[in-house]
Structure 1
Amino acid sequence: MNEFILVPGVFTDGHVWEATADRLRGAGAGAHAVTFGGDRADLETDIADVLRVIDGVDAAAEIVLVGHDYGIHPVIGAADRRAGRIARIVYVDAGMPQDGVPALAAVPDQELRERLAAAEPADGALAAPASEEEWRRWGSTAGVPADALELLTRRAVPQPLGTLRRPLRLTGAVYGVPTSGVLCSGNGAGIEMLQHLVNMGLPEVQGLAAPQVTFFELATGHWPMLSTPVELAGALLAAAAGEGHRLTPAADELPVHLRPFLLETPEVPVERTGHVDLYVPRDADGPRPAVVFVHGGPVPAGSSPRDWPMFCGYARLAAQAGAVGVTLDHRLHDLTGYPDAAEDVAAAVALVRADPRVDPDRIALWFFSGGGPLAAGYLAAPPAWLRTVAATYPILAPLPNWGLTDPRFLPVAALAGAGDLPVVLTRAGLEMAEIDATVEQFLAAAEEHGTRLEVVDVPAGDHGFETLDPTDASRDAVHRALAAVLAHLGHVRRIGVGHALAP
């Protein structure tokens, strides 16, 4: 028999699991919703509470430990000490705790995270949210009925700072326990996005494609036990049975981002200065406009996207068309890295504009994927030298679980200040739903503000179509987008069959 131990997240107790627990019991399983004790002080006391519940379950039962949000930290800590008793761990819209890392690292709101890290005294408590707006700092409330949200607020309890600030300590025994993840796509990443990360070959996510790891996806916000308790209970029962979606391991071939660019491009001399590469046309006979290609992310520290075939290809195309192509590396290594990345982009632009071969008043900025939020500052108050902003399969509003509230990185809101600045948007028809939702928000805002927007559609294109989908339609989309950008720069040059540029 399965016995589910349900561990709540920040500010909540066992009551949040009531509807889900009832469904589990109705299916013949046992369900124990944990409420942390009154002597609660830090992560260790929470782990002790979970251990007491584990030790009270019949030794013959199959224990499924379920952690939501912060609750996954005491779950992992307890499972590490009772690995032989646990049949499976289920992460419900939760991060992946690591040895030596406090739960504070997973708090989505960066400003709040920094404030809590510096808070004194360390044994204090964080007041519970008092409104829906405050709850949204911890995750999307999408789908939660008004009465459930009111009850959540009324029964919320302060969160001891020690639970967030004390590092998790693991022996490693927990890594042998099978796991499942319940992803809430309304709060951020879904299964397709995880598969995309695995396909990129990133070492830190390859374990997600292991045979003992399964996934479920619910189209709701961060509190599925309140918004979709029936569907959540179904996912938990299926997880206990070893069911669920399994990710496909990265192929032995080159990772997606290292595959060849979809167009043949001429070799162009590359000049490297610091974190910036310049591709200068061979026949440059005077100052030329420049196109600065800004990669997405987060990317691991030490990686160099400016060396990826795709960005080299775009820069060579720009140089072939007579403009200076520019690639750069920036420090978007995690979701806290946007301010550093913005500094790197600004420094690159300053370097490019100071080059005598570049017309400093004819610059285009072209953002890709997770680099999209970096466009916001340029849209909100376009400098005189910026002739156009382009974006290809971009994230144009931070995903709910990012906790990114800094207006410098909110492109949708920034459109109010864009004025007459032209924007070229390349949209992938097979885009991940979470990202496509941000593009739809951007399109609606562009219509509201009368933005000069040109959309280049790639109906059968995936996110990263330049290496994933080397079709004629994809090639045409690249040509059309570059032609539009160079036209806004006032540049005339034929860049491909059927793509003559006009000023």
Structure 2
Amino acid sequence: MQVFIMVAGVFTGAHVWRETAARLAAAGGEAHAVPLTGVDPARPAPPDGVGLETHIEDVIAAIDAVDVTSGREIVLVGHDYGIHPVLGAADRRAERIARVVYLDCGMPQNGVPALAAVPDQELRAELAERARRGERGGVLAPPALDAEWERWGSTAGLGETELKRLTSSATPQPLGTLLQPLRLSGSVAAVPVTGVLCTENGAGIASVQRLVDFGDPALAVLAGPRVTFFELPTGHWPMLSCPAALADVLLRAAAGAGHRLRAPGDDAPPAHLRPFPWDLPELPRDRRGPVDLYVPDGEGPRPAVVFVHGGPVPAGARPRPREWPTLVGYARLAATEGLVGATVEHRLHDIADYERAAADVASGVEQVRADPRVDGDRIALWFFSGGGLLTTDWLAEPPAWLRCLAAAYPVLAPLPAWGMAGSRFHPARAVAQAGDLPVVLLRAGLETPEIAATVEEFVTAAEAGAARLEVVDVPHGHHGFETVDAPEKTRPAMRRALRTVVTHLTA
């Protein structure tokens, strides 16, 4: 059996692992929750302060306390911030570690502080500015109210008792633990890893597979033979919301079980690079900087549909989104209807990039409108997936020339793990201001639960605000249905949505 050494996230001490540890022990394992200096009462902060290195030493001490003659393998489990000291310790004791478990957390990199993983973007910017001014001491106060925990992750699955326990036992986080860079030699890269994704917090195995499929070399390691994944249908604190299920997953992870991702190039092409469900004329692409135009033969100017890809898409992804079959296919399909089809490249590479991406889209749209082949007073915008948040500005203040806004399987409110609770990019809040702007929503019937919840929020708000919303359902469609599902299941809805957009453009 294994020895599980578990490290908690920000503001939470070793106590949060109590139920999970008990279940691991009952299954014959050995479990130790590491008390972190300056966080757990058992280890008060020293006079010279606490940094990430302090917590790395705490984890190393727990590793070294395991009897090397026992023959038991050590599995390190890092939740949230806890993955940073776990990786730092594993890098220095790699020969002792059988597996590292990433529990609902990011992938820390050498030289990057834990601050980069703080989900609340406003708080992250504030702390970065304090660090720039040299203010590296002190502590970060924990949430004082139960509702404030949503800034740090989804509280789905937590009952009132668990949520109050989280708040009442929370302790301040030493700022040095968030600001001190993680230093790795590379030894930890040889240790097998398992990712446990809490789907109610906004990420699942399918979304990670999509990131790998995008072709960024930096993410190829996730499809390696020593990497496995599990999902838990809960929020960000599974050790409190479902400790039995978490213990079961940890035991299975320690045994090397779990889902393995498909590497790029294996077998069939990834979903986003499969063929578009229509055989369309090979209309030439007219590339003008960040904009690609597909212009039908004949006299102009013509109405245009600008297709806006989703994301975040890693900067290293190849081919680029505007070259994907779906974007090219829709643009050419629009051209068969006598419209100019346009695709716009934008820089949504990370959750923090929405402001930049919105500016890219606005600039690209103006470029399309200025083209002499385009009727700049008859424009439709069509958004996909994570690009759905970019509809916000157009819904809140629709210009007179915008005749229709469409969205396919969109994200229409920030997902819990994105740390955007106070962000302006929230279409479900903006749709009430859309006025007479026609909105066409292509809704995937088999959408992932976390995205489906944002769509439902948007539809409810649109109905309450008397928005001109037309929902076109694709009952058997998944996220990205154009290249994922059988054409006979998707084409009727796609055609209906396009014809609706054409009607609004040509009326």
TM-score under structure 1 normalisation?
0.93
Q: Which residue of 2 aligns with 1:96?
A: 107
Which residue identity is paired with 1:80? D
Counterpart selection for 1:416 from 421, 429, 432:
432
Shift of 1:165: 1.4
Counterpart selection for 1:73 from 51, 70, 84:
84
1:190, 1:434 within 8 Å by CA — same for their partners in 2? no
Q: Which residue of 1 aligns with 2:235?
A: 221
Cα offsets for 1:319-358 (capped at 9, x unmatched):
2211121111001011111101000111112122223332
CA distance in 1, matches of 2:345, 2:213: 21
1:123, 1:162 within 8 Å by CA — same for their partners in 2? yes
CA distance in 1, matches of 2:33, 2:23: 13
CA distance in 1, matches of 2:267, 2:251: 34
Shift of 1:163: 0.9
Paired residues, what number? 490
Q: Which residue of 1 aligns with 2:374?
A: 358
Q: Which residue of 1 aligns with 2:181?
A: 167
Map 1:377-456; keep pairs closer than 5 Å: 377-456=393-472
2:347, 2:356 within 8 Å by CA — same for their partners in 1? yes
Shift of 1:206: 2.8
Cα offsets for 1:428-486 (capped at 9, x unmatched):
23322222222222222222222222222222323222223352232222221111111
Answer yes or no: is 1:135 the counterpart of 2:149. yes
Query: Which deviates more, 49-58 or 422-431?
Result: 422-431
What is the DSSP-based 3-state SS (H/G/I as helix, E as strand, rest coil) of the residue aligned with 1:65? Answer: strand
Answer yes or no: is 1:116 the counterpart of 2:130. no
CA distance in 1, matches of 2:59, 2:357: 40
Q: Which residue of 2 aligns with 1:48?
A: 57
CA distance in 1, matches of 2:225, 2:370: 53
Structure 1's unaligned 5+ residue stretches are: 492-502
2:99, 2:193 within 8 Å by CA — same for their partners in 1? yes
Shift of 1:5: 0.8
CA distance in 1, matches of 2:314, 2:247: 36
Q: Which residue of 2 aligns with 1:275?
A: 290
1:281, 1:323 within 8 Å by CA — same for their partners in 2? yes
Query: Which deviates more, 416-425 or 255-264?
Result: 255-264
Shift of 1:221: 0.7
Query: Which deviates more, 295-304 or 58-67?
Result: 295-304
Which residue identity is paired with 2:297? R
What is the DSSP-based 3-state SS (H/G/I as helix, E as strand, rest coil) of the residue aligned with 2:23? Answer: helix
Query: Which deviates more, 316-325 or 454-463?
Result: 454-463
CA distance in 2, matches of 1:400, 1:11: 18
CA distance in 1, matches of 2:273, 2:22: 49
Map 1:162-241; keep pairs closer than 5 Å: 162-241=176-255
Q: Which runs of 4+ in 1 moved over 6 A?
A: none
Q: Which residue of 2 aligns with 1:151?
A: 165
Which residue identity is paired with 2:18? E
CA distance in 2, matches of 1:298, 1:195: 13
Shift of 1:280: 2.1
The root-mean-square deviation of aligned C-alpha atoms, in Å, is: 1.8
Shift of 1:174: 0.9
2:217, 2:316 within 8 Å by CA — same for their partners in 1? no
Shift of 1:76: 0.6
Shift of 1:252: 4.5
CA distance in 2, matches of 1:16, 1:470: 46
Shift of 1:253: 4.3
Cα offsets for 1:220-241 (capped at 9, x unmatched):
1101111111111111122122
CA distance in 1, matches of 2:424, 2:143: 25
Shift of 1:410: 0.6
CA distance in 2, matches of 1:233, 1:154: 24
CA distance in 2, matches of 1:143, 1:368: 29
2:214, 2:313 within 8 Å by CA — same for their partners in 1? no
Counterpart selection for 2:270 from 223, 234, 255:
255
CA distance in 1, matches of 2:175, 2:189: 27
Counterpart selection for 1:327 from 343, 358, 365:
343
Answer yes or no: is 1:3 the counterpart of 2:17. no
Shift of 1:82: 0.6
Classify 1:406/1:328 alpha carbon distance in 2 versus 1 (closer, same or farther; 3 Å): farther
What is the DSSP-based 3-state SS (H/G/I as helix, E as strand, rest coil) of the residue aligned with 2:248? Answer: helix
Q: Which residue of 1 aligns with 2:313?
A: 299
Which residue identity is paired with 2:381? L
Cα offsets for 1:162-209 (capped at 9, x unmatched):
211111111111111111122111101112222333344443333222
Cα offsets for 1:259-284 (capped at 9, x unmatched):
33221222334332221122222112
Identity of aligned residues (%): 63
CA distance in 1, matches of 2:240, 2:214: 34
CA distance in 2, matches of 1:211, 1:320: 45
Answer yes or no: is 1:317 the counterpart of 2:333. yes
CA distance in 2, matches of 1:473, 1:254: 20
2:432, 2:466 within 8 Å by CA — same for their partners in 1? no
CA distance in 2, matches of 1:365, 1:179: 42
Answer yes or no: is 1:339 the counterpart of 2:350. no
Structure 2's unaligned 5+ residue stretches are: 38-44
Query: Which deviates more, 77-86 or 213-222?
Result: 213-222
CA distance in 1, matches of 2:126, 2:157: 29
Cα offsets for 1:372-422 (capped at 9, x unmatched):
100011112222211111001111111110112354311111112122221
Cα offsets for 1:306-326 (capped at 9, x unmatched):
222221221112122111211
CA distance in 2, matches of 1:225, 1:247: 25
Q: Which residue of 1 aligns with 2:15?
A: 15
